[in-house]
Structure 1
């Protein structure tokens, strides 16, 4: 069995759609970071998205764990023309509503769709576990990234998966067995 412990990066405090913008995380709550680091498996290597909010969070919880190279395929969804905009600032509200209500092949202008994001993250996860078979992995990533993998583990539609809350500095543990992926815990706050 392999386990992946998805950790959502520390908060950015942005009130807009943050995808590929490289905003820093607020990592001032050292007690919370220590509880998180203590909760995670001690021998598991740590990998993260290459965006600073994820890399800094990974560095803060790694301690003496092996630190793997940052993986750009673990980045958040690319919001294209909607990047750093609030929902009410998007001019084409019909397009925006369709994007969120029927996630799939429709993406923001110049951005990526839910299906594109899911395929990108699936490739990264497969690559990681091909390199580290039967291992525990700690992956520090983003809300959308974690939801793609939760969708796969629970066999839900993307729209159903959007109902899950994934807090900053939470852990979502997914286990891979010979029958596929299974969710052990979702949005756990150590």
Structure 2
């Protein structure tokens, strides 16, 4: 029985202070670029990556495109794997936030306190889960790599484990570091359930 793989990889460090970048098209720092390319090379060793799916945002797409060209791996961009849209906060460094009370309410109860002008958590989760289910329906064999964002990875993990994605602990207490990788195993037989082999590995 064959086992297919989907590896979820978060993008590298961005060229900016810590903040809510969401849909903001911020580039990688030099270190973030080098680390991401090295991680892709590592993940390509065993077994080799056979397809890359990437968020279209430059912090994901740049290295995904360059690596796909270098290694001759098919690349697919998917808007539905973009990070959550943080509305009026999108692109704002934490040091520039004025209304900390509203931001704290968002962190404490993200399903109830949406970012002003942004996506609700329900909209974000629905978008990511639909994209994930669509990816599984394609029945692609081999080793697929999904290069995306921390919020996306958390929603996928919650979906696979049937956890409540409205729980703030998923976002406040589950660390998904830059260039960390989470591996999903898919047995190649009807009704097989995806198995999470590891979460947020950094080596």
Q: Classify the TM-score, shorter chain.
A: 0.7 to 0.9
Change (3 A) 1:123 1:30: same
**Contact between 1:22 and 1:52, CA under 8 Å: does it hold in 2?**
yes
Deviates further, 128-137 or 116-125: 128-137
| Superposed displacement of residue 174, structure 1 | 2.2
Q: Does 1:25 align with 2:32?
A: no
Change (3 A) 1:54 1:32: closer
> Who is 1:183 aligned against?
196
Change (3 A) 1:51 1:89: same
**Separation in structure 2 between the aligned mates of residue 97 and residue 176 of structure 1, nearest angstrom:** 38
Change (3 A) 1:179 1:128: closer
> Who is 1:80 aligned against?
87
> Who is 1:48 aligned against?
54
| Superposed displacement of residue 85, structure 1 | 2.2
Q: How does the TM-score come out when normalised to structure 2?
A: 0.80
Change (3 A) 1:128 1:144: same
Any gaps of 5 or more consecutive residues in structure 1?
none
Q: Does 1:36 align with 2:44?
A: no
Q: What secondary structure, in the 3-state scheme, does the structure 2 residue paired with 1:139 have?
A: strand
Deviates further, 45-54 or 119-128: 119-128
2:182 to 162, 169, 172: 172
| Superposed displacement of residue 37, structure 1 | 1.9
Q: CA RMSD in A?
A: 2.5
Q: Does 1:141 align with 2:148?
A: yes
| Superposed displacement of residue 81, structure 1 | 0.3
| Superposed displacement of residue 61, structure 1 | 3.8
> Who is 2:10 aligned against?
8
Change (3 A) 1:129 1:103: same
Any gaps of 5 or more consecutive residues in structure 2?
none
Change (3 A) 1:69 1:147: same
Change (3 A) 1:167 1:86: same
Q: How does the TM-score come out when normalised to structure 1?
A: 0.85
**Contact between 1:46 and 1:138, CA under 8 Å: does it hold in 2?**
yes
